[in-house]
Amino acid sequence: MIELQIYPDDISLNQAAAEWMAGIIRAQPDSKLVLALGKSPEGTYQTLAHMVKGGVLSFRKCRVYQLDEYLGLKPGDRRLLFAWLLRSCLDPLDIPANNVVRLPSESPNLEKVCAKTDRIVNQFGIDAMVLGLGPNGHLGFNEPGSRFDSPTRVVTLTPESLVSNATYWGKQEDVPTRALTMGLGTLSHARRSLLVVNGSHKRDILQRMLLDEISPKVPATCMRNWSNVTVMADAAAAIDLEPGPFI
């Protein structure tokens, strides 16, 4: 079941999402986390960073699982998602880089890497995660058609995701077409999940996630089968929706 909360603007949304995460960290300082990248959760991380800088919150003991990574990139490539994770999350939140279970951009045995990631997650669990909602309903790089029990694996990005990611790198030709992603089955075991959705451009996909039949056609609908899921949306994204539970 999903609990939808609606906020009038980005400022109140980011503050509420940050307080949600802060409450978890204060209760369990060594939490194991998944922190998605993208524009949606960016304001949440900035608000949390102010708390860290002010000395009222610490992530130093947390462990982070990298949600996804482009394949075929060399060290130092500006498009590496781990570098983005460093800039937007790890450094601002003062999380040591060696506290991260990384997904590589290249490896001679990707299947072994994926299986190892899932073993670590199964051993230590996911205490909380912050996700964004893709324009086609993807979570991480779990594109439409992804099985709800899918493991961490190699995926091919859809044309829609290539267009969406091009906004970060300049042009569609710059976006790698293959990636590693934690699977929906892996993510489903999180003890608590937060989905941050903002902007009128997310209106249609948010409605489909909450109101359409639960189907791999919209991967995010799987969250309605998960436990302890909170969706925080601004008013622009939640037009025509009412706060409350969605099953």
- Catalytic residue ranges: 68, 136, 138, 143
Distances in whole angstroms, Cα of residue 21 to Cα of each of 75, 106, 108, 159, 176: 31, 32, 36, 33, 31
Q: Chain centroid to CA 169: how far?
A: 19
Helix 39-53 and helix 10-27: axis angle, to 10°? 60
244 sits in the region (left: phi over 0; alpha: psi -120 to 50; else beta) called left
Give dist(CA 36, CA 130) in Å, integer: 6
Q: What is the rounded CA–CA span in Å between residue 102 and residue 69? A: 9
Give the Cα separation of 63 and 182 in Å (integer).
16
CB 193 within 8 A of CB 225: no
